Chains A and B, each alone.
Chain A
Amino acid sequence: MEIKKYGSEKMSKNEGVIYRISGPVVTATGIEARMYEVVRVGNEKLMGEVIEIHGDQSVIQVYEDTSGIRPGEPVLSTGQTLSVQLGPGLLTQIYDGIQRPLQTLEEVMGVFITRGVDADGLDLEKKWDFVATASKGDDVLGGQVIGTVQETDTITHKIMVPPKASGKIKSIKSGDFNVTETVCTLEDGTEIKMMQEWPVRHPRPFSQKYAPDTPLVTGMRILDFLFPLAKGGAAGIPGPFGSGKTVTQQSLAKYSDAQLVVYIGCGERGNEMTEVLDEFPHLIDPNTGKPLMNRTVMIANTSNMPVAAREASVYTGITIAEYFRDQGYDVALMADSTSRWAEAMREISSRLEEMPGEEGYPAYLSSRLAEFYERAGRVETLNGEDGSVTVIGAVSPPGGDISEPVSQGTLRIVKVFWGLDAGLARQRHFPAINWLSSYSLYPQSLNQWFRDNIASDFPEVRTQISALLKVEAELQEIVQLVGSDALPMDQQLTLEVARMIREYFLQQNGFDPIDAYSGVQQQYAMAQAILTFQEEAKKAMAAGARLQDVVNVQSRTELMRARFAEGYLDKIGGLVEAMVAEIAATAEAN
């Protein structure tokens, strides 16, 4: 196959031979490669990356299956590091871990992924309507926007001067261009095209990092209300198998108010990616009213695809996320699952016979995790705009026990921990996020936003709700010993209120066409409804009502059920009023 992507221009014509092959790790002699340089391995020119150098030997991780390759076959260095192609055409795509479009692979290879095929990340032929926004004579710096392309109906792709270039514009023209044609020339002769390449293992530059102050609204009540994540923040979702990591991640990809989503299926199931592909084009983004696919880029390197490409997949994803951040967008990146990424590192590391750290993971595991999550953030872009990358990483701890290295390494860095709980999943309490062990360190910095945009007492209401849940946990311990009837009435009421929080507020079926998304305004109204119930029940019981009657009022059931129908926010007020009246009546009846 001809080498297209890692082009001939910079090829250093440096050729060596294979000395050893052990699974995805190949050792070559006779090339003078640099670390992380892309090389071509064997007669089939499989793509690989230099990950270690010992004297004359270069150790290479290969992104494709190495069966059938022999010592003595050639190895070619390319002079380039592992990079992605950035420009119009990224959106709606689904790539493998090294940015080969899966659709192109299907066209070339059929339904099974074979090897030795290169494919460009971007369509190099397609013409885009470039609208220049800078003019001849303008002084431009790296990262500055010089024009736009309407890539999908929701996303305007901004064309930027590559980060390292700058100068005075000699010429610039609007019109139809493909991504490799020059749209702008600088005085010093630099030609700017719509496509840039960027090495995936290097964070893209920005002017400065800001402290996050805006929540990433997810539409999931337990997340937004109790454990909010900031735009530009990082969250970890650990949980055993079947507890809801993927459903949560997919919910976030669907409903969160990020402008762009990069979804990385890293070492997980093929069918889950198919599901996203089937569903997203038909789902409407609640924030824009347009198909979700228009704001989505997917990376799918499933569990049975080569591990080295799995290792690369998170870098490919986050580089694409940063590129859109640099255009001033709020980007959310989901990585499902970071544990599979860590395992890929472990597999490669053990082939290198490196000294293992904890549980066989390489000693650099925690620093790699930290470097990855550090690429999240809210920044001032080189163009002076505000942009952010929010990272949400699923973690799959063996046996569900988070004392293991990947969970611990993640928790040391992220500020939000959404802990999934097998027990809750088994009770079909979804999302199975444990409200006692989960936490967010952002409320302080986000409270102002909630006060300004939702309600002035939002943080206080949140505190009341979480306090009720804590009290419930303590009471439950007593109930386990003596049964609930033995508790005093006011505590029995507390249990009922807490049950209402769990069943009405925290539970939210990710597949319910309506309840799967709940706006923050509605979340607040629901929390208030619960507190109103508590207050009115107390009053009625003080006036002689029986707890049982108060709890069983029909209007409360209606209030709770109505959330499954359209337009709930508008109805809540009336439903609460009806409930208040009916509860008051229970006291009179006695």
Chain B
Amino acid sequence: MTSKEYKTITDIKGPLVFLEKTEPVAYGEIVSIRLSDGSEKNGQVLDTSDDMVVVQVFEGTEAIDRKAGVKFLGDVFKLPVSKGLIGRILDGAGRPRDGGPEIIADENADIIGAAINPYSRQSPHDFIQTGVSAIDCCTTLVRGQKLPIFSASGLPHNDIALQIARQAKLRDSDEEFIVVFCAMGITAEEYNFFRSDLERTGALENAALFVNLADDPAVERLITPRLALTAAEYLAFEHDYHVLVIYTDMTNYCDSLRQIGAAREEVPGRRGYPGYMYTDLAMLYERAGIVKGKKGSITQFPILTMPGDDITHPIPDLSGYITEGQIVISRELHQAGIYPPINVLPSLSRLMGSCIGEKTTRDDHKKVSDQMYAAYAQGRELRGLVAIVGEDALNERDLQLLKFADIFEDKFLRQDRDEDRTIDETLNLCWELMTNIDTKYLVRLDQELIEKYHPEEKKA
């Protein structure tokens, strides 16, 4: 392929370099730019024609001048993949960051990734026990699901993600997950927190890390998750691993996307984010799942921080439109000192129905979950009413529900950072807490279940 060096840069703008008079350059082709001080930067072709080529520079255009030399490397961006990725730490562009050797490739995989044929997918149905009651009972996670954490700055989403990564397992199975961790623009402190936790628990040896930190180039963030997912796909579908991909923070990713859009003078969509952000995010999130004839799976846990705690902001909004539910972290609960501060009301697992019940979790799971949810929702609503009319206006039922909301938060939601509750423990806890409400108000439970599980009504 051409490895001719061009010195025909005409314009440099934001993360983009424009050049002219090249031989035919491929769309998506990888570019290497040599600066006058001899250093190199990498980029990718965003637009190509006979007259003009537009290159997006991953490391930013700082110090590039019109005399810089540009080489087109003849191929689209590929990641060398092999089982050797496990236990390694790479930077946001896929280069070793742990002082170790280059990855010896079994193959070079295109990082854009092809879409899974919907006909070839298999519906996820295996229950993952995370040991976190709020999740296991109310927004149950399924192997192969994409379930983001909607959080906001200053909230303990990282602790929750790590707790899930540590504790996640299939019931009655010792099949383990391996973790692919992808950092996009997070602080060194946050990264060290993740890393040392993975190190402490020994999970690091079974993980692959792709790390782009806050002071790393912003544009590089656009490829970091693609590298991570390419690695995940390779490990899941070529080597039968069950892969848990944690990526944080999607908000930084989207901001980089916005930056490119602005530099290209594209017509912006809502709040300045590009109109194609839905499609772009879908190209990441849809790389989760299970496919026919392969043993492995990809489960995704993207973390995003909602700007201004606003769930209608384009980043959580478009994510929610693509993922299979969401776990919403609440500032109010966090401020009340509750960990994990998961607000179950706006949280949802769309795949939950396929993985709970007698055969997989327990026969009472669905109804218990509905009842806990309903009682808590009503209790929280009553808090608002009480603020206006006072507790005196409440009848007996409402008083019980009002108290239940506090109990729910204090006993059910609250648990330690290393407390790993089995699904049986979680469901038994639910029953115990529901004794605070008269059974006649537990309308979502049927008599049969009450007789089987209710601590006070149980028939021996």
Of residues B279, B348, B388, which shows the largest number of chain A Cβ atoms within 10 Å of its Cβ? B279
Tally of A-B Cβ pairs under 8 angstroms: 195
Chain B positions 331 through 375: 1 when the CB is less than 8 Å from some CB of chain A, otherwise 0:
000000000000001101011010000000000000000100110
Interface residues of A in 365-411 (CB under 8 A from B): 396, 398-401
B292 CB within 8 Å of chain A: yes
Q: Which residues of B contact A396 (CB under 8 A)?
A: 321
- Residue of A with least CB distance to B377: A427
In the complex, what distance in Å separates the CA atom of A130 from the CA atom of B269? 53
Give the shortest distance, in Å, between A131 (CB) and chain B (any CB): 32
9-residue interface stretch from B33-41, B117-125, B168-176, B450-458: B117-125
In the complex, what distance in Å separates the CA atom of A278 from the CA atom of B314? 32
Give the shortest distance, in Å, between B178 (CB) and chain A (any CB): 21
Give the shortest distance, in Å, between B418 (CB) and chain A (any CB): 31
Q: Which residues of B contact A22 (CB under 8 A)?
A: 27, 46-48
Contact B49 A71 (CB under 8 A): yes
A590 CB within 8 Å of chain B: no
B282 CB within 8 Å of chain A: yes
Give the shortest distance, in Å, between A553 (CB) and chain B (any CB): 14
B275 CB within 8 Å of chain A: yes
Contact A347 B275 (CB under 8 A): yes
Contact A303 B278 (CB under 8 A): yes
B200 CB within 8 Å of chain A: no
Which size class do A's interface residues fall under? Answer: 35 or more
9-residue interface stretch from B9-17, B108-116, B295-303: B108-116
Contact A241 B320 (CB under 8 A): yes
Cross-interface CB contact of A20 among B49, B120, B326, B393, cutoff 8 Å: B49
In the complex, what distance in Å separates the CA atom of A199 from the CA atom of B123? 35
In the complex, what distance in Å separates the CA atom of A105 from the CA atom of B121? 13
Chain A positions 42 through 70: 1 when the CB is less than 8 Å from some CB of chain B, otherwise 0:
00000000000000000000000111111
Contact B27 A67 (CB under 8 A): yes
**How many B residues have CB within 8 A of the partner chain?**
73
Q: Which residues of A contact B287 (CB under 8 A)?
A: 304
B459 CB within 8 Å of chain A: no
Q: Which residues of B contact A69 (CB under 8 A)?
A: 26-27
Contact B275 A307 (CB under 8 A): no
A72 CB within 8 Å of chain B: yes
- Residue of B with least CB distance to A404: B270
Contact B117 A111 (CB under 8 A): yes
A563 CB within 8 Å of chain B: no
Q: Which residues of A contact B353 (CB under 8 A)?
A: 511
Contact A70 B389 (CB under 8 A): no
B379 CB within 8 Å of chain A: no
Contacts A70-B26, A401-B312; is A359 near B270 (CB within 8 Å)? Answer: yes
Contacts A269-B324, A399-B317; is A111 near B120 (CB within 8 Å)? Answer: yes
Contact B275 A346 (CB under 8 A): yes
19 sample A-B contacts, Cβ–Cβ < 8 Å, listed by A number: A20-B50, A27-B49, A66-B28, A67-B27, A69-B26, A71-B48, A102-B120, A269-B322, A270-B286, A271-B123, A275-B123, A277-B119, A302-B118, A304-B279, A343-B278, A343-B279, A398-B318, A426-B377, A483-B394
Query: Which A residues are closer than 8 A to B by beta carbons?
Result: 19-23, 27, 65-73, 94, 102-103, 105-106, 109-114, 240-242, 265, 267, 269-271, 273-275, 277-278, 300, 302-305, 307, 340, 343, 346-347, 350, 356, 359-360, 396, 398-401, 426-428, 480-483, 485, 511
| 9 more A-B residue pairs beyond the given contacts A65-B112, A270-B289, A481-B388, with a C-beta to C-beta distance below 8 A | A21-B27, A111-B237, A113-B117, A271-B121, A346-B269, A399-B312, A426-B345, A428-B373, A483-B385
